[in-house]
Amino acid sequence: MSGPQFPTRVMMFRDFVPDKLRVFLCLFFAVVFQFSGGIYLSSVSHMVGSLALMQEDIMMAGYASFVGMTVVFPILFRLKFRFTTRSILLVICPALILCNVVTMHTDNLPIMVFFCFIVGILRMWGTFEALSNVQLSITPTRNFAVFFPVVYLIVLGNIQLSGLTTVYLGYWANWHYMHWFIIGLLFVVWGLTAGFTRHFRFMKPMPLFGIDWLGGVLWAIFLLATIFVFEYGKFYDWYDSIQIVTGTVIAIIALALSVHRMMVRRHPYISLEAFRYKNLTSLLFLFLMLCFFLASPNVLQNIFTGSILKYDVLNAVSLNWWNLAGTIIGGAVTYLWHARYHGGYKVPVFLGFALIIGYQCYMYFLIDPNLNIECLYLPTMMRGTGYIMLYISLTVYVTSIVPFQHFFQVLAILGFVRTGFGSVLGSAIYSRIMQYLIPENFQTISMELDVVNTAINEHVFTGIYAEAAKQAILVSLKEMYGWVCIIGIVFLCLILCEKFLNRNIVGRLPRIRRIKQIMQRERV
């Protein structure tokens, strides 16, 4: 067979490193990079008090990291073909250490957002570089149905473990210790890279000519401005404020300029052809609905466990263990379905959404001020199982309809929804509706509550008033969960009517010679 091929061994390591250890080290590198972040959202309450920033400020910085992870997708292979793995890791590790030091000590929001954005780029770049080197060790046939379950187990599993580690370290010490812990892990990766790896190329380095850097910046500005509007909308009273109007205008202008560059440039950052693939709109809608349903734990469940059940951070974060268990179960089931039984996409997609909507229905019947935490274990596991099943199945589906030329661009487009503004949009919708429901229900419940009511002793009026407020929250949560359940059941019926998910074709990574040809055409 002619042409350069990927060796089955991980060739970037020195000769004395055993083959099994090479695979383990690459997976360890990927886990560490996924752990790394500019800030850690599980420590939001501690950071708010320590840095005198608003919760919206910390969340904005966290979402900036997700934007960085999304916009770097289209150029990941170009970076891989330009630099050796050793060079990439030796740059990423100290850069991530620097970013963690800066975000740990700054209280300047623009600086925090900027460095978190850089962290997102670096962590995705490092994760991709580590996992791409072991893809053939995981699946010698280049089968994405085998590879993506491993990828998402690392990515989504680390979200749960990162939250647990952040809370435990913050509880026993303070939130800075999570940064120092990650810095320590990055030093370990840095040392292992320096001692165990060597420069290895399977082809001549490919220059970074022809990349539309300005287009990438414009897409990032569009996402950041959109997230700003949804995250700060409640604080600034939406379009009654100049800040939200300005953010909306910036988002529209950035989007318009990005679309214009797609029209006029020969090789834009994201090609217009990437938006034209069949059923891409349906996939974007599915991810948008997924973000909508998954936003309920961030708003409704947090209100329930925080305001009603009065859970401290340790009790609240303990649910991550059950979410992690669901993630492992869902990853294993999806792997068996696609890789071993070669099943279609409708069954795992329907089942994934059914589990997430089942979580909503479960929570509807669990709303009670005396609920034990054990009752939340099963719905949390259901949510985690459905979450990873949908991520794996829908991403594997993309490999069956999109050729390699535009695959990473389409992943970036899907990332605009799933890791971009989708989650913050869902949270904004829930928060906005609850902002009206709670006062309305409180007025209904407390209609006869008055200090001049002779049936009420003025000494117990305060307690009765507090109980009325508590009941108003409970009624509002139950009402909100009820509407989400209705929407979810209707949505499940729509999935049953979809025909595009019936196919069972799985894409495979092309040979290196083919990838090289595609990359070279992109530069012309």
CB pairs under 8 A, 24+ apart, for 42-46? 42/162, 42/163, 42/164, 42/166, 42/167, 42/170, 42/313, 42/317, 43/166, 43/167, 43/170, 43/175, 43/178, 45/313, 46/170, 46/174, 46/175
- Residue 87 to residue 298: CA distance in whole angstroms: 39
Helical ranges in 85-143 per DSSP H = 85-105, 109-132, 135-138
User: Cα–Cα distance between 165 and 170 in angstroms, integer?
Assistant: 8
Sequence letter at residue 316? A
> Are the folds of 8-209 and 270-426+484-524 the same?
yes
Query: What are the backbone dihedrals phi and psi of residue 197, each rounded to the nearest 5 degrees, phi first?
Result: -110, 165
Distance CA 154, CA 398 (A): 20
- The predicted structure's pLDDT at residue 3: 41
- pLDDT, residue 6, reads 43
Q: Which option is the CATH number for 8-209: 1.25.40, 1.20.1250, 3.30.420, 2.60.40? A: 1.20.1250
282-331 pLDDT, tens digit per residue, is 888 898 999 889 888 888 888 888 888 888 888 888 888 999 999 999 99
Phi, psi torsion values for 456, nearest 5 degrees: -115, 125
The pTM score is 0.88
pLDDT at residue 4, rounded to an integer: 40
Q: pLDDT tens, 208-220?
A: 777 888 988 999 9
pLDDT of residue 519: 57
Weakly modelled stretches of the chain, pLDDT under 70: 1-9, 448-462, 504-524
Rounded to whole angstroms, the Cα distance separating 477 from 472 reads 9
Q: Count H helices and E strands in the chain, helices first.
A: 21, 0
DSSP 133: T
467 token code pair: 């109980």
Task: Map out the domains of the chain as residue ranges.
Answer: 8-209, 212-268, 270-426+484-524, 438-483
- Please state which architecture CATH assigns to domain 270-426+484-524: Up-down Bundle (1.20)
Report the pLDDT value the prediction gives residue 1, as an integer from 0 to 100. Answer: 36
pLDDT at 508: 63
Alpha carbons 155 and 173: distance in angstroms, whole number: 26
pLDDT value at residue 459: 59
Q: What are the CA-CA distances from residue 30 to residues 82, 125, 398 (Å)? A: 20, 10, 23
Q: Give the span between the Cα atoms of 365 and 385, in whole angstroms.
A: 20
